[in-house]
Amino acid sequence: MIEEEILTIEEVAKYLRVSERTVYDWAQKGEIPAGKIGTVWRFKKAEIEQWVNNRLSVHKTASTTGAIQVESILSPEHILFLNYATKRDALLALAENLSGAPQVKNRQELAEEILRREELMSTAIGRGIAIPHVRLASVTDLVVSVGISRTDIVDFQPLDDEPVRLLFMIAAAYNQHAYYLQTLSFFSARLKNKDLRLSLLASKTEAEAYGLLTKV
């Protein structure tokens, strides 16, 4: 039997990009799944991941989804067709692509933080989708890169066991917490549309995929 991964307050805080005090308060109020070992709070990785996914669904409101203009955060050159079997290779390729955006000032930090965040907890949200995301001081404004994989990426460990084929990498400035959450919610909501997912997977060019994503 595989032992469940247990996280500390510090690890959960780093993943959620909030203060340790915020995580502690949530745990005290029962707003986040947690348990105590003696006087110390501990968190199960699978439960935190499910909690995050649930919050993304809850944040999906008409006002939130309507607030995101895809054209302002994504351009055709930041759509990439991938052919890697492992998430590390796919994430590095997508991070390299996103690093070409003028909003990203530190290429190495972006790649390192994307991988570090993925090691802490999978960004796969089910339905063959992963949304790797970071907020960094070296990013000046929120920007997105999209990966469409021609190969099943089998090691993301999604809750529904469906191999990842669509990746939406989000890099935001550290002070863009609300906009960052809105963007996560927006893509999580849009990609519940099966026809959109299938059309993206079948797209032949970056321009075609971009047209699908920017279509109202």
Residues 116 and 169 in one domain: yes
Residues 45 and 84 in one domain: no
Give the CATH number of the domain where residue 85 resides: 3.40.930.10
Residues 135 and 96 in one domain: yes
* Residue 1 maps to a domain: no
Lowest mean pLDDT segment, chosen from 7-21, 101-115, 193-207: 7-21
pLDDT in tens, 42-97: 998 888 888 877 665 544 443 444 468 899 999 999 999 999 999 999 999 999 99
Residues 35 and 53 in one domain: yes
From residue 200, give the alpha-carbon distance in Å to each of 20, 47, 95, 117, 132: 38, 30, 20, 26, 18
Percent of the chain residues past pLDDT 70, beyond the cut: 91
Residues 124 and 185 in one domain: yes
Give the CATH number of the domain where residue 22 resides: 1.10.1660
pLDDT in tens, 123-149: 998 999 999 999 998 999 999 999 999
Crossing angle between the packed helical segments 45-58 and 177-190, to the nearest 10 degrees? 80
| Residue range(s) defining the domain that contains residue 45 | 6-58
Residues 74 and 91 in one domain: yes
Residue 211 is predicted with a pLDDT of 95
* Residue 103 maps to a domain: yes
What pTM was computed for the model? 0.70
pLDDT in tens, 98-125: 999 999 999 999 999 999 989 888 899 8
Residues 20 and 86 in one domain: no
Q: How many domains does the chain have?
A: 2
Q: Is the Cβ–Cβ distance between 99 and 167 less than 8 Å?
A: no
Give backbone dihedrals phi and psi of 112, rounded to 5 degrees, phi first: -65, -40
